[in-house]
Amino acid sequence: MRSSFQSAVRALVVATALATVGLACSSAFAQQAAAAPPEIGRVAHAPAFRPPESDATPPPPSVARPVKRAKRSVRNAVAHCAQGRFGRAALSLYNARVWIARAHKAGMAQIGAPPTDPESDEAPGPPSVIAVFGMEHFVVMRVAPLYDGMDRFIGLKKTLYLTVTKRMRMLKRIVALDPEGAGGDYADGMADTLPIYDAEVARLTQILQTGRLTSGARTTLGVVLDWSQQTRAIANAAYGGGE
């Protein structure tokens, strides 16, 4: 009986000691995490350029809804990365890609579509295109800086490549329109968006010059920068110069 009692006491002492050590370690890890949060995206200081809103009709809900949700998903991904929640960030970027693709598809469907209001001559195409281009610029400006200090695969490359390739497809569709016909409706709004490409090229160049990048990240951002430069060149050639 006495031996059993002594064994029980020793077991209790050991368990208490282990619990104390566990609490101390947990406290130390918590303090370390609080003192040194992940340094992701240090160069993401400047806000994304905001293209002017169209003075005509707003984009239809089929475009406005996925645009809004894509931006929200990207904001969530940035917030999760700042807190070191990379699994949640990956999920948010997956959601962003879903909404980016839907916004692009909806925007393309509005190109050449007639006015939704029979009494209006304002086609839904121009404001839809401007909204989608603004969303795509937002994505590049928010997602690209996440490569700075990032050593995990959370879908940054997929998100950026999807965005810049979809944008180029839409831009070429708009540029191909007859400037004396349907294309004329897009001229003023597209000219107003030209500064976004300068801001985008500058941001990507800054990240490549000052960011803490893996070799894979550097390659990806170099490709995205090339796409942005091509987009800027096409847009400037079609809508720059003014009168």
Distances (CA, A) of 96 to 8, 109, 180, 203: 56, 20, 36, 21
- Give the pLDDT confidence score for residue 147 in this predicted structure: 97
d(CA 41, CA 89): 13
Confidence class for position 40, pLDDT limits 50, 70, 90:
low
What percent of the chain stands above pLDDT 70?
74
CB atoms within 10 A of CB 223: 14
**Mean pLDDT of all residues in 205-233:** 97
- Give the pLDDT confidence score for residue 123 in this predicted structure: 86
Reference 110, options 141, 93, 94, 133; nearest CA is 133
Specify the pTM.
0.80
Confidence class for position 25, pLDDT limits 50, 70, 90:
very low
- Give the pLDDT confidence score for residue 94 in this predicted structure: 98
DSSP character string of 32-80: HHHHS-----TT--SPPP-PPPPSSPPPPHHHHHHHHHHHHHHHHHHHH
Q: Does an H or E element contain 3, and which?
A: helix 2-35
Distances (CA, A) of 153 to 41, 139, 176: 15, 17, 37
Secondary structure of residue 171 in the 3-state scheme? helix
Least confident range from 18-22, 66-70, 97-101: namely 18-22
- Give the pLDDT confidence score for residue 180 in this predicted structure: 86
Residue 209, phi then psi, degrees to nearest 5: -85, -35
- Give the pLDDT confidence score for residue 57 in this predicted structure: 72
pLDDT single digits (tens) 158-212: 999 999 999 999 999 999 999 888 888 999 899 999 999 999 999 999 999 999 9
- Give the pLDDT confidence score for residue 39 in this predicted structure: 63
- Give the pLDDT confidence score for residue 2 in this predicted structure: 46
Given a cut of 90, whether residue 90 has pLDDT beyond it is yes
- Give the pLDDT confidence score for residue 121 in this predicted structure: 73
Secondary structure of residue 153 in the 3-state scheme? coil
pLDDT single digits (tens) 119-135: 667 889 999 999 999 99
- Give the pLDDT confidence score for residue 205 in this predicted structure: 97
d(CA 158, CA 45): 23
